[in-house]
Amino acid sequence: MNTIVEWVLDLMERIGGPGIALGIFLENLFPPIPSEVILPLAGFTAAQGRYSMVEAILWATLGSVTGALLLYGIGAALGLERLRVIAHRMPLVDVADIDRTDAWFGRHGPKAVFFGRFVPGIRSLISIPAGIDRMPLVQFLGYTTAGSLIWNTLFIWIGHQLGDRYHLVEQYMDPISKVVYLLIILAAVGVLAWMVRRSMRRTHDPDDQIDVESLD
Write out the chain's pLDDT in tens, 216 residues: 556 667 777 777 778 788 889 888 988 888 667 777 788 888 888 888 878 899 999 999 999 999 999 999 998 888 878 777 776 676 656 666 676 777 778 788 889 899 988 887 778 788 888 888 888 999 999 999 999 999 999 999 988 888 766 666 666 566 555 655 566 566 666 656 655 665 566 666 655 444 444 434
The predicted-structure confidence for 191-211, as pLDDT tens digits, reads as follows: 566 556 655 666 666 554 444
∠ CA 7-70-128, nearest 5°, is 115
Q: CA neighbours within 13 Å on the CB side: how many for 178?
A: 6
Per-residue pLDDT, 201: 67
Q: What pTM did the predictor assign?
A: 0.74
What are the C-alpha distances in Å from 109 to residues 20, 34, 50, 118?
A: 28, 24, 38, 15
Q: Report how far residue 18's alpha carbon sits from residue 212's, in angstroms, rounded to the nearest whole number.
A: 48
Per-residue pLDDT, 215: 39
∠ CA 192-193-197, nearest 5°, is 115
156 domain residue, yes or no: yes
69 domain residue, yes or no: yes
175 domain residue, yes or no: yes
Per-residue pLDDT, 43: 87
210 domain residue, yes or no: no
209 domain residue, yes or no: no
Per-residue pLDDT, 150: 95
Q: Report how far residue 80's alpha carbon sits from residue 128's, in angstroms, rounded to the nearest whole number.
A: 11
211 domain residue, yes or no: no
Name the CA dihedral angle for 86, 90, 95, 96, rounded to a multiple of 10 degrees: -150
Per-residue pLDDT, 216: 45
31 domain residue, yes or no: yes
151 domain residue, yes or no: yes
Domain span at 59: 2-204
For the chain, the domain total comes to 1
